[in-house]
Amino acid sequence: MNDDQLLRYSRHIMLDEIGIEGQERILAAHVVIIGAGGLGSPAALYLGSAGVGHMTIVDNDTVDMTNLQRQIAHTTARIGMPKVDSIRTAVHAINPEVDIHCIQERATDALLDELLPEATVVLDCTDNYKTRQAINAACVRHGTPLIEGAAIRVDGQLMVIDPRVSDSPCYACVFPPEAEFEEIQCSTMGVFAPLVGLIGIQQAAEAMKLIVGFGQPSVGRLQMLDARTLEWSTMKVARVKTCVVCGS
Q: Which residues pair with 30 in a beta bridge?
A: 54
Query: Residue 194 belongs to what H/E stretch?
Result: helix 193-212
CA distance 78 to 64: 9
Pairing of strands 30-34, 54-58: parallel
What is the average pLDDT value for the chain, to the nearest integer? 94
Q: pLDDT tens-digit profile of 33-64?
A: 999 999 999 999 999 999 999 999 999 999 99
Question: SS3 for 92-161, per residue?
Answer: HHHCCCCEEEEECCCCCHHHHHHHHHHCCEEEECCCCHHHHHHHHHHHHHHCCCEEEEEEEECEEEEEEE
Q: Which residues pair with 157 in a beta bridge?
A: 150, 224
Residue ranges of domains in the chain, CATH in brackets:
3-236 (3.40.50.720)
Q: Is the pLDDT of residue 146 over 90?
A: yes
Proportion of the chain above pLDDT 90, given as a percent: 90
CA distance 51 to 155: 30
CA distance 34 to 25: 21
**Confidence at residue 187, expressed as pLDDT on a 0 to 100 scale:** 56
DSSP state of 234: E
**Confidence at residue 238, expressed as pLDDT on a 0 to 100 scale:** 94
Catalytic annotation present for 186: yes
Q: Is the pLDDT of residue 181 over 80?
A: no
Please, which pLDDT band fits residue 8 given cuts at 50, 70 and 90? very high
CA distance 97 to 218: 30
Please, which pLDDT band fits residue 185 given cuts at 50, 70 and 90? low
Q: Is the pLDDT of residue 183 over 60?
A: no
Pairing of strands 30-34, 121-124: parallel
- Cα separation of the two ends of the chain: 43
Please, which pLDDT band fits residue 177 given cuts at 50, 70 and 90? confident
**Confidence at residue 179, expressed as pLDDT on a 0 to 100 scale:** 73
Q: Which of 102, 186, 243, 246 is catalytic?
A: 186
Name the nearest CA neighbour of 212 among 11, 1, 28: 28
Q: pLDDT tens-digit profile of 119-132?
A: 999 999 999 899 99
- Contact between residue 234 and residue 174 where contact means Cβ atoms under 8 Å apart: no
